[in-house]
Amino acid sequence: MFGTPRDIATRKFVAGGSPQHTPQSGWLQRQEAIMGTAIHVELWADDRAAGEAAMEAVMQEMHRIDHAMSPHRPDSELSRINREAATQAVRISTEMFQLLTRAAHFSQLSGGAFDITYAAVGRLFDYRLQTRPDPQALARAQQAVGYRHVILDRHNQTVRFERPGMCIDLGGFAKGYSIDNAAALLRQRGIRHANVSAGGDSRVMGDRRGRPWTIGIRDPRRPGEVIAVLPLEDTSISTSGDYERCFVEAGVRFHHLIDPSTGRSPSCVQSVTILGQDGLTTEAFSKCVFVLGVERGMQFVESQPGLDAVVVDARGTLHYSTGLLAPGLQTRQ
């Protein structure tokens, strides 16, 4: 998920969109490459300068999270944890402690389908070079996977790993967390209509001044096409797909979504989209459902209030939760 920031910033201002607009009001857009993905902000600004300042605040927050949580930065807090926690308890920031606590909650709730210690296996794959671990290396790494062996001490605000070789990766929900923070910053600045996206995760605020935001779900096997379009207001949406970072070898697709119990990529699902009230939860649940598969995954979603799901199975068939049965969902089968 995370990468060395490469700022490719674009800005666009379009006046209009409402009979009440003024020469200084309109839609603003900005995009940068942060966390190894495209961060995009679109918002309505009553004042152009205030809108520009709000987008800058969002990008600065994205950079801050990347600096703290990237496993590729040796000076990040996450890298320090991974270096030291197997030999001693590591005191961590309040923010990091809260995130690790949420990760433990998601792991328990999903029966281990969500597990940030999968990183011991995940780091052995290189999707650009199309390399993967041999069975012996995979088996050794698998011994270091297990969320129950991440020990959190609330009193001392520390984390410790009980097994050698353990490491963690917050890529399962950090983008969702970042868009939650971005939305909070925008609200603080009086922005009421916005869409913040980070790769497959988006948070829409309000509507598009009179009509809903429309978010397309990518067709997992037809680049450039969508398989469903969702009209949304005040919603977080996260999609995880087996096409994001992957390679195919001897007819088998290896991708970055890994089942923590096996160390292998699930093959029964092509993509999972989760809708809910906050991005941290929707991104984490998209990973859970991908690992659980269609039947158990949908049961898991239906058991959680305020969540909905759209799942594309291995055959390309679309499944969606009961909360999406109302008119408005446009699909292509």
Give the tens place of pLDDT for each residue, 106-144: 999 999 999 999 999 999 999 999 999 999 999 999 999
pLDDT of residue 24: 85
Q: Which region holds residue 146: left if phi is over 0, alpha if psi is between -120 and 50, else beta?
A: left
Number of folded domains in the chain?
3
Verify that 177 and 296 share a domain, yes or no: no
Strand partners, 217: 228
Closest CA to 249 of 132, 161, 155, 164: 132
Give the tens place of pLDDT for each residue, 169-182: 999 899 999 999 99
Verify that 1 and 66 share a domain, yes or no: yes
Verify that 331 and 232 share a domain, yes or no: yes
Structure tokens at 185: 């910053």
CATH code of residue 295: 3.10.520.10
Verify that 333 and 266 share a domain, yes or no: yes
Verify that 44 and 191 share a domain, yes or no: yes
Structure tokens at 20: 């009440």
d(CA 121, CA 111): 19
Verify that 256 and 193 share a domain, yes or no: no
Over its length of 333 residues, how does the chain's per-residue pLDDT go in tens digits?
444 333 333 434 444 444 456 668 999 999 999 999 999 999 999 999 999 999 999 999 999 999 999 999 999 999 999 999 999 999 999 999 999 999 999 999 999 999 999 999 999 999 999 999 999 999 999 999 999 999 999 999 999 999 999 999 999 899 999 999 999 999 999 999 999 999 999 999 999 999 999 999 999 999 999 999 999 999 999 999 999 899 999 999 999 999 999 999 999 999 999 999 999 999 999 999 999 999 999 999 999 999 999 999 999 999 999 998 755 555 554
Domain end call among 178, 208, 238: 208
- Residue range of the domain that includes 221: 212-333
Closest CA to 84 of 159, 148, 153, 151: 159
Helix (H) or strand (E) holding 15: strand 6-15
Verify that 40 and 183 share a domain, yes or no: yes
Structure tokens at 93: 């920031």
Q: The tokens 């119990």 sit on which residue?
A: 261
Verify that 60 and 174 share a domain, yes or no: yes
Verify that 230 and 252 share a domain, yes or no: yes
Q: Measuring CA to CA, how many Å separate 169 from each of 25, 111, 212, 266, 329?
A: 41, 18, 34, 19, 34
Verify that 239 and 255 share a domain, yes or no: yes
Verify that 194 and 50 share a domain, yes or no: yes
